[in-house]
Amino acid sequence: MAILAAFRLWMLSIQRLAVLGSVYDDLLFYRQAKSIAAFHWLGPYDSLLLTKGPGYPLWLAALSLLHVPLLLGQQLFGIFACAMLVLAIAPVLKSNAARLFVFTFLLMNPIAAGGWREWVLLRDSIYPDQCLLLAALLIGFLTRLDRGPWTRARWLVPAGLCMGWIYISREEGMWLAPFVAAVLGTAAWKLWRQRPALGRWAWLPVPAIPAAFMALVILPVCLLNAHFYGMFGVVDLKDPNFVHAMGALQRVAPSTWLRTVPVRRETWQKISDVSPAFAKLKPILDGPLGSAWAATSADKIPALQGTREIAGGWWVWAFRAAADTAGEHKDAQTAHQFYGRMADEVNAALTAGKLPAGPSLGAGLSVPWRWQYLPVMGQQLPAHLAELFSMANETPGLPFRSNADDEQLAQTTAFVHQRVLGNTPADETAALARAQRSPRLKLLNALHALYTKLGPILAALAAIIFCVLALRRDSRRRCWPLLAALLGIATAAALRTALLLFIDIALFPARSVRYTSATEMYVLLAEALCLGIALTWAIEWARARKKPAPELR
């Protein structure tokens, strides 16, 4: 395993870090992490500071304080997650060859080198491995359910901490709930059935321990945000008043509904007439700020070209930027009160019939469900699944030049202890030439091609193996922990796929490596477990055939 890990590190050493220069992404994470490393929490407040959780900045700060180069730290974390999974399945997959196969299959997957996501300061670069680590910890608990409470706790405690870390890293972590529920629910049910021997409440630590340690991660973040910024929560995109304001605006029905546009431009004047709070934002949205976000929307969604509309994926940023320009983001409390006034004004007008009301479900970053989405989702589902199982989007990324000035590049280099690509065309050309000459890139491309060709076949084979497992009584008895985990993994992957498909249709293009990689990791995990079980069966069958027949006396 150590040799395989070293080989992966050598292959991925081709990666170089680039600075996107986006105040909404890498520069936001960088300034949050730099402030954390200086023990000043997230730094001075502005309208963007609390829009994304501190999970990834905490990771960046830890690597910086330990003087670990960023890209090396990412790859070591991925290797650690794979190793933990092998340790987790050891009680069920007793074959060394099967466990080595699972480790190799996950370790060499193309996600770690896929697209440009791995070359920049983005939380998406470690999110798939965070999800894999959570799976490993929960599976390790389930495969040791028959052991003592302290052994179970040694897996449940870090699982709870990992759940908390994932929660403060990304805002859509609820897609993992089916997997967590399948594992913990199965374990609690098994222990409850043994209550005559173990006691009536033996099952209670199963949900209680991870919940407590998850809270141990989330609660300090909420308290620190409340202390420094006056907002008790992880991100202010989930602030109740902001969510209600977004939901109220989306309830106003336009004369013509336009997919991907939650608040059409034609409704702005109607809302301004009844909401003094929104009236402060309309001139700003009508100006260069709104035009810039409309241009971005049209660039990403061709159907919006010439409409001057702002798509859902960018509306939230345009809306908040307008509020910031209007002086309503001086601090978190000012923003909270402003969005609360707007929500009350618009909802009151909707209730009184002063504004045409549309569907009421949907708020915050979501939009109301409409049945018009269903045919489009049905049309796009086959292509989405084909990309998911083949991992076609995970083509090994190539270097590109940074989009930041020399001072920012120097500061980033010093903080992440990692060389950063330059910001000139010559820097990009030289980096591309080095990468294309490297045998490591050829190996990465070969691995991606192999996974792409085998992906759909392995997915079908894994589904067959799972069905055989579920139908055979002896298999259910021997492999029930992995069966329960596989059921949860498949449900979680299906839920995230449905969510991304909905977002892709209703808000913004979501069929990107930034969003699909976590789902792909769980698809690979399910395939690895099913194939590992099948390999274990094959090895046991071969050994049984080799055993000499007993001599007759």
Tens of pLDDT, residues 251-261: 999 988 888 89
pLDDT recorded at residue 365: 57
Tens of pLDDT, residues 441-480: 888 888 888 999 999 999 999 999 999 888 887 777 778 8
What is the percent of the chain with per-residue pLDDT over 70, rounded to a whole number?
A: 97
What's the angle, vertex CA 41, arms to CA 238 and CA 39, rounded to 5? 165
Q: What is the mean pLDDT of the chain?
A: 89
Backbone angles phi, psi at 166, to 5 degrees: -65, -40
pLDDT recorded at residue 550: 56
Q: Which residues pair with 357 in a beta bridge?
A: 252
pLDDT recorded at residue 51: 93
Question: Which has the minimum average pLDDT: 11-20, 186-195, 312-321, 363-372?
Answer: 363-372
In contact, 521 and 394? CB cutoff 8 Å = no
pLDDT recorded at residue 461: 94
C-alpha distances in angstroms, 75 versus 65, 68, 70, 440?
A: 18, 11, 9, 15
pLDDT recorded at residue 73: 94
Backbone angles phi, psi at 17, to 5 degrees: -85, 135
Closest to 13 (Cα-Cα) out of 350, 392, 441, 327 = 441
pLDDT at 188 over 70: yes
Tens of pLDDT, residues 422-439: 888 888 888 888 888 888
What's the angle, vertex CA 475, arms to CA 474 and CA 478, rounded to 5? 85
Dist. CA 7–CA 331, nearest whole Å? 49
Residue-range domain boundaries for the chain? 2-230+384-543, 253-357
Question: Which has the minimum average pLDDT: 24-33, 152-161, 278-287, 466-475?
Answer: 466-475
Give the model's confidence band at 45: pLDDT under 50 very low, under 70 low, under 90 confident, else very high. very high
Residues in CB range of 223: below 8 A, 6 or more apart:
232
Task: Name the range with the highest mean pLDDT among 4-13, 54-63, 247-256.
Answer: 54-63
Tens of pLDDT, residues 14-27: 888 888 888 999 99
Helices (runs of H) and strands (runs of E) counted in the chain? 23, 0
pLDDT recorded at residue 117: 57
Dist. CA 245–CA 91, nearest whole Å? 51
Whole-prediction pTM value?
Answer: 0.93
